[in-house]
Every structure is written in C-alpha cells, then in structure tokens.
Structure 1
Amino acid sequence: MNNKPKENCKYWDKCYQKNEHHLITYNHPTATKPKEEEPTTEISPNKSPIPPGNNEKQDDSIEETKPETTSVVVDDDDDDEPKKHEKTPKKRHSSEASDNTVNTPPKKNPSKRLWDHSEANINEKEQSSSFIHEKFLVKMPKDFYLFWKFVVTHPTKNSLKPFNFELVGPYDFLAGKFAPGQNKSPGDYLRHWRFFYDPPEFQTIFVKKGSGIHYGYWRDDPKDEENLLIVRNDASKGCVFELIATNMFDAFAYFLEKDYQVTPFNHKVLGDMRKTISNFVQESKFDRRSLVEAKVERAKKISAKTFHNVGIVVPVNKTTGVGYRPLTDSDSNIKKILSALEKPGELSKEEAKEMVMEKLNPIITNSVIALDECDFGTNLELGIDLFCSGHKELHEIVQNLLNPAYKLLGRPQYMAILKAHLADRRNSYKLSILD
C-alpha cells in the first residue's frame, strides 16, 4: 500500500475533476488559498506592537518582513489614542518611523542636550565632562561646574558683562560654542586661550577682556582634579604667576578686588554681586579650602622655585633624595646668560645664540645626567625656565628637556600641550580658536 502523503491540488476548491483516482491522490481544501497576513493600522496604546522577549530578534524579523501595504508608527507620547498622520505633521523625534517599519523607542542623545543651558540640565553638564577631558586632556573640579551653575541661574541676564569679565577655555564648551562636528584639530583645543607664558601646568578659565590678565587652574599633575589652585598672570608683564585662590568663587572675588576699577557709579553693582556670590555659596553648602593652608601644604612639596615663581612639584624619595637635584647654576645667572638674546649689542642674532648656547650647554648636560639618574625634576626645572624666558630660539631645547621629564613623571598630557603651544606660540590677547 502506498503510504505517500497526499499533495494539495493546485486548483484547490476550484478543481473541476471529480474522478475517484484524482480525489484519492490530491487534497482539496474547502477554503481559498490563505494570503499573507497584513498588519493592522491601529495599535492599542496600552499594548506593545512587539511581543515581550528578545527585542533585538523581533526587530530583525520586522525588518525582513517589510510589509508593503500598511505602515505602522509607534508614538512615544503618552496619549490615550495613537496619533494619525496629519497634513502638517507635528515635530517628532528624529528616530521615529518615517518608512514602513516599526521602530523601537529612540535612544537618548546626550550631546544634543549639552547646548541647553536651562537650570534643569545643569547636572547633565556636570556629568558630561568627557568632551573637556578628551579635548583639553584634563578633568575639571567641582567648583568649575558650580560656578557655571551660579552664572546660568543668576537672576540678572548678562550679569558678568559690567565687570569686563569673560569665562573662556573649557567654559566655552558649557556655553555651547563648540558645536557638534566642528572641524578642529587636537592641537587647536590645547591652544585655546593659552597665553604666551602659560606653561602646560596652567589652564585659562577666565580673562579680563582686552588685556593679558587671565586666571586659571594650576595642576602639578594633570590627573589631579581635586586639590587645584587658581593662579593669575598678566601676559603683558611677563612670566610671573601668582597663587590667588582655591576655587572659582574666591578667584572671581579676587578679580573684583584686583582687576575691576571701582567708581562711585558702579559701587552698588559691585556690592550686590558680592552679596549674591556669598548667598549662593552658602545655599550650595560649598566647602571652600583655605588658601593659606593650601599654600603651606604645597610649599612643603615644592622642589624648585622656577622663573614663573609657582615652583615645580615632583615626587622625591625622602630617604635617598632621588627625584630632584639642583641645577649647576643659579636662576639669576641663567637669566643673565639669556639676556644676550634680548640685547645682542653688536652681535648678530645667530652669534648671540651661539654665545648663549656655549654657556648653557654645561648646565643642560648636567641636567640630562640627572635625568638619567632618575632626578627628573632637574630637567623639568631647566625646561620650564627656558620656556618662561620666551625666546623662540630655545623652543627645540625646551622640548628636548621637558618631553622626557614629563614622560618619566607620568605626565604625557603635558607633552601634547607643550607641542601644540610651541607650534603656534602667539604673543596676543585674542587666543580663542573660535574667532
């Protein structure tokens, strides 16, 4: 007996054959051939169009099916009924369906909200330090973000303008000046608001408009984001920096005291601003470190003073003293040697440089020997001193001294900053890469 299963007749219930042999051999269903199931045009807002389970697999199967007759749109809004297409569609999420597919809810794009300066998004800005860390190679301390909160929540619009005060550098990111996809090189960001005498350890955060007066964070170690000090420099007067505060609020107060000219006409505005700052700090319960204590604590770690007066801090073994040894000549003598580059007299520039290098070479040689014997601070001191002299003829020597010192001290970020700065070291007050 033939147990072969019967096949379906290709004519289905339309078959005209009635002989017994044909009926035994083939199936004749009574219903018509089923069509592909079409999706419904309405979805209950309380039910998901995608059954629970592995959403990724469900999405794949939906993409493969691609129904051609009816589009299904899942709306993110919490309306009682699903929305219908209108002649003038409302603004929708960019990730909602515009083709004949079912889309899962759109992923949030945190970078878009960075340009929203409402108070509700302050916390998002504080948590979105990845851009600053990536472009400027350092992380910002808590007072940096708290001061920004003070600025954007202050009741008076443009309240800082009367004081000729401008937040710059990484604050430009929070202000939305760095648009997504902006075509800038890594070196451009590292040069952004970097004044002529700013060493890699310094980062500008605000300026007095139209002048060389600028304030910024000082980091002995680029990985430090807590125990930072704020220093002030006037680029028009040279390379000397001054430690003035431990946080942005005290730095701004110092600015108002030091660099803002008080007159009978602006006295009240100044008094109101000071009171507003004090109230904000109290309400925020911000714990400000004492500047005196911070200076004393750092002074214990300073290995050498350097030309910029802030000094350098390097790890030194207390038992062996390995980590730093003094230069073979004093700061005053080195400055005297370098003065020949400023006033060559009857010598040409090339002759003056040769004479200077002849006197510097023994100091440089001893510094390199110190580096080889793990006294990395010696190279750092001499390199910073030559950088602070401002002579571009010495830029190559500065890099040859500082790069190995930064590398062996575990501070490669400063190597990148130094390289970018020396590639375009400008004696100017207009130092924004956005201009």
Structure 2
Amino acid sequence: MAGNGKGTAEMELSYKDDPRMPCKYGAKCYQKNKNHHEKYKHPPKKTPEGRGVIRKVVDKDESCVASSAPSPEKSPEKKKIKLDTSDEEAEQITSSPSHSNASEPVVDDPENALPPSPEDVKESIKQKFLCEMPEDFYQFWDFCKNLSSDSPARALKEIGLMLVGPYDVLSGELKKVKHRDSSSYLRHWRYYFDPPEFQTIIKGDDKKQYHMGYYRDDPQEMPVFVACNSAAVSCTISPLAGNVFGAVNAYLNGILKSGDPFTKIKVPKYQNALKKWAEKEGISLEAKTAEMKARSKKVVSTTFHNAGIVVPCDKKSQVGYRELLEPDAQIKKILTSIMDSETEDKRKAAFSKLQPIVTAANIANDECDFGASLELGLDLFAFGGEPLHPIILQLLQAAYKLLNRPEFAVIIKAHLQDRKKGVDLSIVK
C-alpha cells in the first residue's frame, strides 16, 4: 500500500468516497477474482486475523447469537433472529491463504475456484475439505505406507479396503484433477447418504457401497468417532471406534465372524500388523471411547441416520432444541407420499402436509431452538429424494449458520448440487 505514493489519510478518504459496496471481510479478504474486486471495495488497513463469524441481524438491544452456546449458568433469552447471509460467505470459506504450487491444475471457473494448494499437507486437506484431520488419520497413512510403500492407499486391498477422500491429498491423486472447483472437492468420495458431519476416508465393498468416515458435530472440532455406512442398503451411520485403527480392527472382527472364507484367511496377517503398530504407537483400539460415551449423553435426537445430533442446549431452560411437530413415523409417511406421488398435484398435496412441520422448525430458529431445523433437515436428507433437496438446503443452511457451523452449510450446498448414488464418486478421472 505504501508504495502507491498515497498517505494513510488520503487512502482512507479514497476508500470512503469509493462508490463500490464494502467487502464484509474487510482487509483480511484475500480474494483475487477480478469480478469480486469490481463489485466490492476493501479498506487500506489490515484488520486482525480471526475466524469468520456468521453475521446476523437482531432486534435492537437483543442478543441470541449461536456462536455463544447456552450454558447452565445463564440461559439465553428467546429472541427473534433474521439471517443475513450470502453466497460470498461460501466463497470466503472455500478459499484460504496458500502458497503457490507450480503443478496446480488449470482454473476453469474463476468464480468457484480455489487458490493454489498450501505446501503444508494438513492445510491443503483443510482447504479442500473444510475440516482438519485428526492425528490418527496421518498415523494410519504411515501404517499403510509401512505395508506398501509403493501404494499406501491400496495397502489393504486384499481385505477389501482402499483409502480415499482426504487420503488422496497424501497419495497425490488429487494432483491429477484438471480444475480447481471448490464444490467438486467437497463432493469427492461423498456417498449419497453422507451428511456434512460425515467425511469418508475409506471405501469398501462396492455392492453394498460400504465405507468408513470421521463423524464430527462441529467442523471446527476434531471427530468424535469413525463410523460406517452402506449407502446401497440404508442411510444408517454406525459408530465403529474412536479412531481409524479401532474402526478397521472392528471391520476385521466382522469379517472373522461372518465374512467369506477367502477373505477370512487373509485377516490375521493384517490384524496382527495393525495391533502391533497400534501398541507401538500407543493407539487405542477401543470400540467405545470415553469421548463417545460423553457425546451419547449430549445427543438430543437420534435422527433417521441414527448417529444423532448434538447442539448447544440448556436442559434446564430447554433452550437450544425442541421436538419436531410430528413424530418420526408420521414424517416418514409424509415423505413416502411425496416421493410416491404419480402427478404434480398429488405431490403438491403431499408437500402441504410437510409444510407445517417445516414452518414449526423455522419458528424454533426464531426462539434459539436451532436443533429442530438441524434434525428435520438431516432427516429429510437421510430419507433421500431430489424433490426434497430445496427444503433440505433451506433447513440445513439456516441451522448450520445459526449454530456457527458455516463450513457444513457450504458442504451441503455443494453435495446437493450433484448428489450421486453409486460409487462413481471420485473427481479424479
């Protein structure tokens, strides 16, 4: 800035007189897109770095901000809130400061493109998937590299497993991608029933579409457990263990109990290697950890996918979550009638029965019971069906932004843009 020959006062005056809209991210905005800078102006001085906060318009002298979780000591008052959000928030979340990489793919769509990948692999994963991976994620890569130095991602192929998703950053697979579209990275190995809370890291049987992934309630926190889902069978997400080592060990135990004979004979070799490595590194193989047990006490609803949801909730004042207007059985009945409707008129009539439930969840948001929209949105997502996608997006984007989980709002939007069944889920072609 100093090199342009203008003094601080002159630059501030120039900024004030600039007719363009001010960028809501101020001087910390690092967008290089030409269209962005033509539309928004940026202050000459840098502001302190910090995590973006979802802005809300609240009534004067009232407060009910999702980023301040209700506590037993002081329950938040129930006040009305109106969201003031835009696609620019999504643009900011999916872009991060990074270092140049000469081997970066060509940018085909500047409006939805990521900046060059950070040199640090952990930052590169966070840039593309919006969440950090826990330490056991990298430890398991080292274990697989020890089994197969040439191809760690396929080290467990004999027992039907392959490392995918964020592991493709470690393997270098994502360097083959010829574009930098942020949404496509978020869909990379995201199965049909994978909600934003679930990040696939291992694929298994293609017939059942079995896969494992990390499950976390907040994108800014580390996962609570590793779970599995068989997308061709159901939406059910089943917790396996507190880390990927324990999850794979549980998978191997399952093969020993009911797997085919040809796979069974290969299990001892890999299970012994897994246990030795875990023991050497001090990694627990427990199926249920203390963190998982603690979370189970915080779950306010099991949801259709059975993994449940956790939201800031004061049980004494009952602020944070309220039950849906109708029980699960009735909601499933309504959703079935929507999906089975043979004509547009019948579908509209079926949707009219769902609308009061949606309206009640939206009203709950006004009174700080954000868990209702989260539950209903995830239930509709778990039920599945493209006609439900607009309502799912509305419910979940509102819930995630009010809960200060904006990364999940970006993920659900990207997923619903191209939600696929089957196993053709890699962006590496």
Q: Same fold (TM over 0.5)?
A: yes
Distance in 2 between the 1:324 and 1:357 partners?
A: 24
Q: Kindly tell me: are residues 286 and 338 of structure 1, through their superposed partners in 2, closer, same or farther at Cα, counting changes over 3 Å?
A: same
Q: Give the share of equivalent positions with the same residue, in percent.
A: 39
Instruction: Kindly indicate whether the alpha-carbon contact (under 8 Å) linking 1:208 and 1:259 is maintained by their aligned counterparts in 2.
Output: no
Unaligned runs of 5+ in 2: 1-98, 104-117
User: Which structure: larger Rg?
Assistant: 1
Higher RCO structure (Cα 8 Å, ≥6 apart): 2
| 1:265 to partner: Cα distance | 4.9
| 1:366 to partner: Cα distance | 1.1
* 1:133 partnered with 2:116: no
Residue 174 of structure 2 aligns to a residue whose secondary structure is: coil
Calculate the aligned-residue CA RMSD, in Å. 2.6
* 1:177 partnered with 2:173: yes
Aligned to 2:140: 147
Residues 291-330 of structure 1 mapped to structure 2, 5 A cutoff: 291=288, 293-330=290-327
Aligned to 2:394: 400
| 1:350 to partner: Cα distance | 1.3
Residue 300 of structure 2 aligns to a residue whose secondary structure is: strand
Distance in 1 between the 2:128 and 2:149 partners?
A: 31
Q: Which one of the candidate residues 382, 389, 393 is aligned to 2:383?
A: 389
Residues 301-380 of structure 1 mapped to structure 2, 5 A cutoff: 301-344=298-341, 348-380=342-374
Residue 348 of structure 2 aligns to a residue whose secondary structure is: helix
Deviations 1:312-347 (A, max 9, x none): 100012432211111111001100111113433xxx
Residue 291 of structure 1 aligns to a residue whose secondary structure is: coil
Q: Which one of the candidate residues 402, 408, 413 is aligned to 1:419?
A: 413
Q: Kindly tell me: are residues 374 and 111 of structure 1, through their superposed partners in 2, closer, same or farther at Cα, counting changes over 3 Å?
A: same
Q: How many residues align?
A: 313
Residue 271 of structure 2 aligns to a residue whose secondary structure is: helix
Aligned to 2:20: none
Q: Which one of the candidate residues 417, 423, 428 is aligned to 2:422?
A: 428
Q: Kindly tell me: are residues 241 and 352 of structure 1, through their superposed partners in 2, closer, same or farther at Cα, counting changes over 3 Å?
A: farther
Residue 211 of structure 2 aligns to a residue whose secondary structure is: strand
Residue 232 of structure 1 aligns to a residue whose secondary structure is: strand
TM-score scaled to structure 2, two decimals? 0.68
Distance in 2 between the 1:321 and 1:171 partners?
A: 41
Deviates more, 1:207-216 or 1:418-427: 207-216
Amino acid at match of 1:143: D
Amino acid at match of 1:397: I
| 1:111 to partner: Cα distance | 6.4
Q: Which one of the candidate residues 204, 216, 219 is aligned to 1:219?
A: 216
TM-score scaled to structure 1, two decimals? 0.67
| 1:147 to partner: Cα distance | 0.2
Q: Kindly tell me: are residues 143 and 363 of structure 1, through their superposed partners in 2, closer, same or farther at Cα, counting changes over 3 Å?
A: same
Q: Kindly tell me: are residues 152 and 316 of structure 1, through their superposed partners in 2, closer, same or farther at Cα, counting changes over 3 Å?
A: same
Distance in 1 between the 2:259 and 2:393 partners?
A: 43
Amino acid at match of 1:200: P
Q: Kindly tell me: are residues 223 and 189 of structure 1, through their superposed partners in 2, closer, same or farther at Cα, counting changes over 3 Å?
A: same
| 1:210 to partner: Cα distance | 2.6
